[in-house]
Amino acid sequence: MEIDNTPGGIPRLGVTILASGSSGNCTIVHYGNQAVMIDAGLSCREMQRRFRQCRCLEGIEIQGILVTHEHTDHISGLRTCSEKLEAPIYATANCARTIRAKDSKIKQMATFAAGGSFDIGPFGITSFSIPHDANDPVAFIITVNEQRIGIATDVGYVSSTVEYRLKACDALVLESNHDINMLAASARPWSLKQRIMGRNGHLSNDSSAQLLEKIIAPNTRKIVLAHLSHECNTQEKALECAGQAIHELRRNDILLTVAQQEVPLETLWLEAGE
Ligand SMILES: [Zn+2]
Ligand SMILES: [Zn+2]
């Protein structure tokens, strides 16, 4: 059975998270048969395997790969994916330099300034700086037909830029990395705990929920909690924390889900005027 991505000639806008977490990150934003990939932290083979699992991605053309930062869980399949898909890579200049130092065989990368905007096909891309222990890391807002999709993981703390940029998205993919108590009680070395909790580490469930209270707007419909720690979080804890924030805003109409490490998450569809 063919999946129709353009019912009645109108392209559908979707977000499909192929993987999320410290073992690999890869998200596809697709509009009809056009798409951009955000991070390529899966091997090309695994990326293609997951692609095939998602029927709605059949026949989709990746027009560019946007890189948030150079940590392995975001770029491990970058070169091979970009070659196989014949898709150009977009990264900040400092990030591109760091990637090239890790992999000299990587082809030309298009660079952009953090905070700047550019278009790839029908996708309006706005990047913004995030606090994280990487070289000029960014998160993205992707806009198609006035629908705003915010994608922000690996965020050390909620800076004013992060809060400002993520306001009033129709759909949000937001890090909810760890439960503070689980992290404190874990067997991880103190230095690693400090790194994760620090201002250039990862966003806790509590910080993520506090941010949601500030950025959810009447048009916000779908929220995916992402980059959950395997050891220091559970889906239940992350959902409970964010769910409480949404409940306090009396926004029980918002769909709240959790992105997975091992399997693609069911596609989120954004319907115009929804
Ligand atoms: Zn990461
Ligand atoms: Zn990272």
The CATH number for 226's domain is 3.60.15.10
**Residue 252: inside a domain, yes or no?**
yes
How many angstroms separate the alpha carbon of residue 245 from the centre of ligand 2? 26
**Residue 34: inside a domain, yes or no?**
yes
Looking at all shown ligands, the one closest to residue 69's CA atom is 2
Residue 37 has pLDDT above 90, yes or no: yes
Residue 194 has pLDDT above 70, yes or no: yes
**Residue 2: inside a domain, yes or no?**
no
Looking at all shown ligands, the one closest to residue 261's CA atom is 1
**Residue 1: inside a domain, yes or no?**
no
**Residue 170: inside a domain, yes or no?**
yes
Total-model pTM: 0.96
**Do residues 258 and 238 touch, judged by C-beta distance below 8 A?**
yes
How many angstroms separate the alpha carbon of residue 98 from the centre of ligand 1? 16
Average pLDDT over residues 68-85: 97
**Residue 46: inside a domain, yes or no?**
yes
Give the three-state DSSP class for 185. Answer: helix
Stretch among 106-110, 253-257, 263-267 having the lowest mean pLDDT: 106-110
Please give the tally of structural domains in the chain.
1
**Residue 88: inside a domain, yes or no?**
yes
How many angstroms separate the alpha carbon of residue 4 from the centre of ligand 2? 35
Who contacts 240 (Cβ-Cβ below 8 Å, separation ≥6)? Answer: none
Domain range holding 126?
7-269
Using alpha carbons only, give the angle 142, 148, 151 rounded to the nearest 5 degrees: 55
Total H helices, total E strands in the chain: 9, 14
